Structure 1
Amino acid sequence: MSEERRVHLSRSAPEAYKTLDAFSKTVGTIAAEAGIDGRLKELVQIHASQLNGCAFCVRVHVDRAVAAGLDADLIAQLPTWRESGVFTERERAALELAEAFTFIHDGGVPDDVYEHVGGILSEPEYVALSWILVSINAFNRVAIAGRYPVPPRVPAAQA
């Protein structure tokens, strides 16, 4: 990765970033009211961030996922969720929706995905997950454009 200095959008336009952060908090409230737990919320945010190539957001949401009770094995299975048997039907539907929203430029949310996911998730869950995905995709773009660094972890014994 280049060491060139990039504009740090959250520092350069803090009011815009605060608004995006407030939007994210509103989306979190909508998700909670729809019954989207921390586990499902973090799974879709990690997966969207992986698909977008946002290492910074992957780090943030892996840490949040661990705090929500997800383990390393489950998180490691995300890139291969279609082949893995560790995800529930509801989680699989949410991950499918995450892919459709992340690659929305490829023709929107396809009808078959919409119908499949809509047959598993309630309308409030679909709406909440959709807004979560709008939010994380926006954050991914901010972090990727600014090349936000992901520092190596310091082992606990050295910290």
Structure 2
Amino acid sequence: MTQRINYMQQSPELFKKFLDFNNQLHESAIEASIRDLVTLRASQINGCGFCVDMHVKEAHIHGERELRLHHVAIWRDSPLFSPRERAALAWAEVLTKLPEHGVPDDLYEHVRAQLSEKELSDLTFLVMAINGWNRASIAFKAVPGSADKAYGLDKANLA
């Protein structure tokens, strides 16, 4: 695959603002392990190879177990995720796919049983961000692994 354009270079001001927004999410009420799972799952749903590659490497660097990374795609059937992680993954999926009639009340109530209002709000912004990154990377055919050195992902030693 060949990248179409480098959107970061073409729109540096917008890229920087979006990156700043994304980086602010590292200070959110959502712990890193859930951020890793959610960004990986949304990227899988969207079919973003660049982002799936990136988030697997990030999660590995953060100490996530390999089997759990394999199970993210089948999280509903896997015993490896806590109720809190399941709620976050369900929220990420519904916001990534957005059903025609919005988020069902029963799903909202299920997620609210696991997350505070602040956590749910922060998680929503995280899902918004990863879906934005997915769309840019897909639109311009970002090549998986092409930014490993720039983002420090070479430290994952997964190549």
TM above 0.5: yes
| 1:117 lines up with 2:133 in the alignment | no
Is the Cα contact below 8 Å between 2:54 and 2:144 reproduced in 1? no
1:105 & 1:145 partners in 2: Cα distance? 23
Is the Cα contact below 8 Å between 1:49 and 1:136 reproduced in 2? yes
Residue 38 of structure 1: aligned partner: 32
Percent of residue pairs identical: 38
Is the Cα contact below 8 Å between 1:28 and 1:132 reproduced in 2? no
| 1:101 lines up with 2:99 in the alignment | no
CA distances 1:72-97 after superposition (whole Å, capped 9, x unpaired)? 10000011100111000000000000
Q: Quick one: which amino acid aligns to residue 127 of structure 1?
A: S
After TM superposition, the structure 1 = structure 2 runs for residues 7-156 of structure 1, keeping only pairs within 5 Å, are: 7-29=5-27, 31=28, 34=29, 36-104=30-98, 106-151=100-145
Is the Cα contact below 8 Å between 1:9 and 1:146 reproduced in 2? yes
1:104 & 1:146 partners in 2: Cα distance? 23
TM-aligned CA deviation for residue 105 of structure 1: 5.4
Q: Which stretches in structure 1 are left out of the alignment for 5+ residues?
A: none
Q: Quick one: which amino acid aligns to residue 65 of structure 2?
A: D
| Matched residue SS, 1:77 | helix
Which 4+ stretches in 1 moved above 6 angstroms?
Answer: none
1:121 & 1:27 partners in 2: Cα distance? 16
Q: Which stretches in structure 2 are left out of the alignment for 5+ residues?
A: 149-153
| Matched residue SS, 2:135 | helix
TM-aligned CA deviation for residue 38 of structure 1: 1.1
Q: Quick one: which amino acid aligns to residue 17 of structure 1?
A: F
2:99 & 2:6 partners in 1: Cα distance? 26
Aligned positions, number: 150
Is the Cα contact below 8 Å between 2:50 and 2:144 reproduced in 1? yes
Deviates most, 96-105 or 139-148 = 96-105
1:108 & 1:147 partners in 2: Cα distance? 29
Is the Cα contact below 8 Å between 1:56 and 1:148 reproduced in 2? yes
RMSD of aligned C-alpha atoms? 2.1
1:50 & 1:81 partners in 2: Cα distance? 12
The 1:20–1:126 alpha-carbon spacing in structure 2 relative to 1, beyond 3 Å, is same
2:119 & 2:97 partners in 1: Cα distance? 20
| Matched residue SS, 2:9 | helix
Is the Cα contact below 8 Å between 2:26 and 2:32 reproduced in 1? no
